[in-house]
Structure 1
């Protein structure tokens, strides 16, 4: 069982944002977060980075952070934590097959 503590992830902020974004858009059935919450968190992150609405095509639902700066990254980390807290989650858990 993999675990990611949203308050103290133990990884750099960039890796944290990319990992959460990937988990939110993945089809990992064992993730302890319902799809509606995953979509909400991803959509909030997308809106912070873009003026257009989030894409509906699963292949296009990728957070591209290359144009961002440290302030943007910090805002994304805060947004992710707050969004999951709004839904009652303090940690993400999922099974990762070998």
Structure 2
């Protein structure tokens, strides 16, 4: 397997994992009534997701240019991490809004 694909995959996994962790931290902060801290965690989570997306975009652009990407369990795992982190981040934002409403 191409070492560049492995490197990109692990970068997606790392950045998406960090983003998901920050989203989870955001829910925890919101649950404790720290809405501003929760929103800061989500902001940082989104920043991490942008980095993960850049790596994914690199793969997409490479393949769109005619360079076939070899599929592997690592790449599938990376994509899974990215999608789960995106979903978790969206749910975390909903939780923050809900906890904020409950505080009022």
Length-normalised TM-score, structure 2: 0.29
Larger radius of gyration: 2
Bigger helix fraction: 2
Bigger strand fraction: 1
